[in-house]
Every structure is written in structure tokens, then in C-alpha cells.
Amino acid sequence: MSAIKSIYTCQNCGAQSPKWIGKCPSCNEWNTYVEEIVEKKQATGKTAARLAGNQPMTLDKIETLQNKRIPTEIAEFNRVLGGGIVPGSLILLGGDPGIGKSTLALQLALAMKDRKILYTSGEESLQQIKLRAERINTTSENCYFLSETSLENIVAQTEEIQPELLVIDSVQTISTELIESSPGSVSQVRECTSAILKMAKKTGTAVILIGHITKDGSLAGPKVLEHMVDVVLQFEGDTNYLYRILRSNKNRFGSTSELGIFEMDSDGLHEILNPSEHLITKVSDHVSGTAIAGAIEGIRPFLIEIQALVSSAVYGTPQRSTTGFDLRRLNMLLAVLEKRAGFKLVQKDVFLNIAGGLRISDPATDLAVICSILSSNLDVAVNHKYCFAGEVGLTGEIRAVSRVEQRIAEAEKLGFTRIYIPAHNKSFDQKKFRIEIIKAARVEEVFRSIFKQ
Ligand code: TYD
Ligand code: MG
């Protein structure tokens, strides 16, 4: 007798229960349990030890993957992956709808002209894919397209064509016949991914799985999906801005701190190899409320413009709002300004914006943030040839930042005349820089220097 049973699965975190529950005990979300029919295969005989399967090996017998990576034609993508696509690996590419996941995958597939690639889409028809390909104006003779939602067919076609890279757009639209629940449900996603994983490891085909993102920003589907795949990439950016950022949240073959920056244009995505030049608005006259931060994301330094607006609060409770910067960190910096530098910002609204729609997590931007706030508050412009790098501590001290030389070099390259850095940064050869380097231990010193008070 085949054991058909139904199980209730949380669509948010993938927890399962034999009964329906209103609130998920594992992720505390409400109303996320959906009934799914699970057909368990009959256990096939005894699970006797089989020595014929994979054999254990010592390290020196295992071939190294390094020189086998497949470099893509998109340098920013290679950078984020740590050098190229590892054969047989599973890459999950997540992002909000409309951010450009399909465009990126298609551009990637079409640019690798001498490699066989299978691009399957469950979301678009072949005609729609062709339209998009015409828009980005590239073509490749080795790229095959398939509009398909059945996992079994995708696997069969992959085994037939034997591509080096398989793109599946998206994991939420494909389904396997083995499970009755609808595409996109937790059990379908999990089952399909595990089948694709097995296929990838068997055939050595690398797979890019495109995944949707839920409204709270996590990848739709269970966390287990992220555990299964080798690399989790996130494609993000505000749809209103042109910039798109590719980050890796997990990478079994490289660093996760790398960042790729693209610009969405009318003819597809373009790589931005020198982000600083794009991220700084070239203003000729001095305006108050902006300061330039020397930030580092991944191994790449770039300069970004921080914009602040401080105005008197209209209502009792002042507003604090940020785009691209952590709000709690802003509140902390405002408290430091208030307490340590004596600036009264309690009755002021403070708005902070990182130009270009970027989201920055480098703490070295702190110093530029507080300088831009003060500049707006005093309505005195910061010299637009000055740049700042420093983390601000709770006592108002400027704490050392990592790789300060790279930041200085980037500022110098872009024609800045002065950079403020932490006094406690370990010493380095200052003579090799032409830019004026000012070391400061406390935020007050910086204020005095830039606002000449
Ligand atoms: P798409 O790749 O379909 O997003 P996703 O697969 O992540 O949902 O990208 C859709 C957006 O990109 C759409 O709003 C149109 C825009 N776009 C361009 O601006 N230029 C282009 O050349 C292409 C192909 C798309
Ligand atoms: Mg898409």
C-alpha cells in the first residue's frame, strides 16, 4: 500500500506539522500552514551497506577545483563568485521582482559564447525570451532555450544536451510529478532543488537557480533551500534607481564580502567597474548637508556621497529616516553628537540618504554621516574636496578602520585634496600619498577643522 499522507507545512520557514496550526511555533508567523500531500516512496528493501557506492579518499587524491572554474564574461559576476562558476555547483540567485534577475542570467548565458548552456524558463515563453535577447542585443549559437515547468523534463533535457551551465528561471515555478502540492510551495521547492542538486553533482553541470524574495526580504521557500545550494547570491537595489548590486550571502568557494555593481540601462545591465566616479554627484557649487565617505565593500574601496537634511520638527516627535543606512546606527550617532559634541538635535527631523540607492554596512562611513548631519544643521557646506573614513564610537572617539591605505588611494585617485582618518590607525608610509592626510582622534577635532569654529 502506498503511504499517501498529508502534512501541514509552514510556507515561511518550512516547519512541518501533522495538524494545522495558526501560529508557527518555529518562526512565529501567523497563518502560514498549508496542507500538502506528500507521497513517500516505499522503502526499497533493506538498507544494506553498499561498498560499491562512493569511496572515501585522502586529500591528495582529490582533484582541485581551482583551475576548473568556468569564467563568465561578466567580470563583476566572477568577482562575486570568487573567480568563476565551479562545475557541478548550485547557485541560487535571489532578488525582488523586476530587479533584473532574468536579465542578468540571460546576459550571462548569451555572453559565454563558446560554452553550451541551457536556459529554461517557467515564467516566460520562448518569444518573450527572444524579445529580451533582442533588447540586450546579443546572441549565442551555443545557448539553448526551453520554456518548461516540469522538473522531470528539465532534468531529461539537461542529460540529453549536457550543457556546462543550466539556468532555471525560477525555482518557484517548476514542479515535480512526485509531489502533488502546487509549484512554489515549500515541499515542491525543496524536492525540486534536491533533485537538481543530485543531477548537478552527477553530471557536473553548474546550475543557476533563480529564486523569488518574500516581502520581508528573505528568499521565498524554506531556509533549507539556502542550506542545500553552494552559493546564495542576492541581486538588489531600488527599482527606482539604476544601480543594482550583486552580493553573495553564502559562498562555499569564495568570500562572501564581494560586491558587484551594475547599472540597468535600456539595453540591459552594464557593469560598473569604477563605482566611485558614478556615486558622487559632480556639483560645482558647495551645498550643505553632503559629505563623502571612503567606504570599502568586499575588497573594493569606493567613495560614496552621504546626504543629510536636518530641519526643525513640525510635530512633537522628530522624525528620523534613512535610505541605505541603518536607522539604529543613525540614532546612535545622533546621541553621540548630542552628548559628546553638544549639538542639540532633539527637536530636529533628520533624514539621511546614501546616494545612488546603495545600502552600506561599512562602519567607516560614520564620520562622513555625522559631518553631513552637522553640515546640514549649521547650513555650512563641507569642502567638496574633502573625504572621510572613520568609525565613531560611543564616547565620540574615532576608531580605527580596516585597510585605510586603500581608502586614501581611492580618494587621491578621484582628485580629493584632503582625507580625515582615525589617529589610531596603524602607521603606514604617508609619503607615498600626495593627498593631505589628517589624523583625528575625536569627532570634535574634525568639526573644528572643517567648520573652523
Ligand atoms: P527582469 O530581468 O525581468 O527582472 P526579474 O527577473 O528580476 O523579475 O527585469 C525587469 C526590469 O528590467 C523591467 O522593469 C525592465 C527592466 N529592463 C531594462 O530596463 N532594460 C533592459 O534591457 C531589460 C531587459 C529590462
Ligand atoms: Mg524574471
Give residue limits of the domains in the chain: 2-41, 67-273, 277-451
CA-268 nearest atom, ligand 1: 22
Amino acid 215: pLDDT:
57
Report the separation in Å between the CA atom of 170 and the middle of ligand 2, taken as the mean of its atom positions: 7
Compute the radius of gyration of the chain from its Cα atoms. 26
Ligand 1: list residues with CB < 6 Å: 95, 97-103, 132, 135-136, 264, 266-268
Q: How many C-beta atoms surround the C-beta of residue 195 within 10 A?
A: 17
- The answer regarding whether domain 67-273 maps to CATH 3.30.43.10 reads no
User: What is the CATH number that goes with domain 277-451?
Assistant: 3.30.230.10
Q: Which secondary structure element, helix H or strand E, spans residue 104, and what is its range?
A: helix 101-111
Could you tell which of 103, 169, 239 is best to mutate to test the pocket of ligand 1, judged by most ligand atoms within 8 Å of the CB? 103
d(CA 77, CA 258): 10
Model confidence, pTM? 0.76
Q: Count Cα neighbours of 336 within 13 Å in the Cβ-side half-sphere.
A: 24
Contact between 248 and 256 under an 8 Å Cβ cutoff? The reply is yes
Q: Which ligand is closest to the CA of 136, given by its number?
A: 1
Report the separation in Å between the CA atom of 151 and the middle of ligand 2, taken as the mean of its atom positions: 18
The SS3 assignment for 8 reads strand
Report the separation in Å between the CA atom of 100 and the middle of ligand 1, taken as the mean of its atom positions: 5
Nearest CA-CA partner of 261 in 227, 293, 295, 284: 295
Contact between 39 and 179 under an 8 Å Cβ cutoff? The reply is yes
Q: How many C-beta atoms surround the C-beta of residue 325 within 10 A?
A: 22
Q: For residue 65, what is its C-alpha cell? A: 577545483
Q: Which ligand is closest to the CA of 121, given by its number?
A: 2
Amino acid (1-letter code) at residue 105: A
Q: Can 67-273 and 277-451 be said to share one CATH topology?
A: no
Predicted confidence pLDDT, tens digits, the chain (453 residues): 455 678 888 877 778 888 999 998 988 888 888 887 776 555 455 555 566 677 788 888 877 655 688 999 999 999 899 889 999 999 999 988 888 999 999 999 999 999 999 999 999 999 999 999 999 998 899 999 999 999 999 999 999 999 999 999 989 899 999 888 888 888 888 889 999 999 998 888 999 999 887 656 566 566 678 888 999 998 887 667 778 889 888 999 888 777 888 988 899 999 988 777 777 766 656 788 999 999 987 777 888 899 999 998 887 788 999 988 999 999 999 999 998 888 888 889 999 998 777 788 899 999 999 999 999 999 999 988 899 999 999 999 999 999 899 899 989 988 899 999 999 888 888 888 999 999 999 999 999 998 875
Could you tell which of 119, 170, 264 is best to mutate to test the pocket of ligand 1, judged by most ligand atoms within 8 Å of the CB? 264
Report the separation in Å between the CA atom of 98 and the middle of ligand 1, taken as the mean of its atom positions: 6
The SS3 assignment for 57 reads coil
Cα–Cα distance list, 45 to 42, 198, 276, 416 (Å):
9, 22, 63, 73
Q: How many C-beta atoms surround the C-beta of residue 3 within 10 A?
A: 10
CA-123 nearest atom, ligand 1: 6
The SS3 assignment for 399 reads strand
